[in-house]
Amino acid sequence: MTSFRELMAGFPTGVAVLTTFDVDDTPWGMTISSVCSVSMDPPTLLVCVRNGSPTLDALLRRGSFTVNLLHQAARPAAELFCSGDPDRFSQVTWERPSLGGPHLVFDAHAVADCTVSHIQEVGTHVVVFGSVHDVTHRSAEEPLLYGKRQYAAWPASA
């Protein structure tokens, strides 16, 4: 539905890279903009992932994931992780946490490591609820935004 797509394109949002490891420790990841805080107690967030995505498949098999919130200089990482490039993890610096997926060391201003607490299929996507186990603040850079099919930096404060 074109009008619905236009509606959502006009809603600016933050940009994140969802990461996980498969059961054989292969890293998987994809750019997402559907991230939402659900609850502060217990700390829970949700992400929406296209049904059939290999990242979703790995996430569900592993049972854990990481949300890397990208900063304003990380547009190349956002574009890389939505490109389908099979070598995306060789093109960014990342580290392995004790729980969750790869942390994008130089591209994320903050990361949340989660375990899957619930899933719900809705149309073409799966809503994944994650219990947040750890949050790491990596930099003070401003968040990267996406809206009207364009990336932008957080506006300077007045």
For the cut 70, the answer to whether the pLDDT of residue 157 exceeds it is: no
Does any domain span residue 14?
yes
Q: Is residue 156 one of the residues assigned to a domain?
A: no
Domain total in the chain: 1
Largest distance between two CA atoms of the chain: 49
Least confident of 1-5, 12-16, 111-115, 126-130: 1-5
The structure tokens 């899957």 sit at 116
In a domain, residue 24? The reply is: yes
Are 148 and 78 in contact by the 8 Å Cβ rule? The answer is no
Average confidence score pLDDT of the chain: 94
* In-domain check, residue 100: yes
What is the band of 148 on the pLDDT scale with cuts at 50, 70, 90?
A: confident
158 in any annotated domain: no
CATH number at residue 23: 2.30.110.10
User: Which residues sit opposite 116 in a β-bridge?
Assistant: 130
For the segment 21-38, what is each residue's pLDDT rounded down to a tens digit?
999 999 999 999 999 999
Tokens 């949700």 sit on residue? 46
pLDDT in tens, 98-139: 999 999 999 999 999 999 999 999 999 999 999 999 999 998
In a domain, 28, yes or no: yes
Domain, as residue range, for 85: 2-151
* Residue 157 placed within a domain: no
| Whole-number Å distance between alpha carbons of 19 and 80 | 13
Q: Does the pLDDT of residue 84 top 90, yes or no? A: no
Res. 158: pLDDT tops 50: no
Q: What is the pLDDT of residues 42-64, one digit of tens each?
A: 999 999 999 999 999 999 999 99
In a domain, 144, yes or no: yes
Strand partners, 128: 47, 119
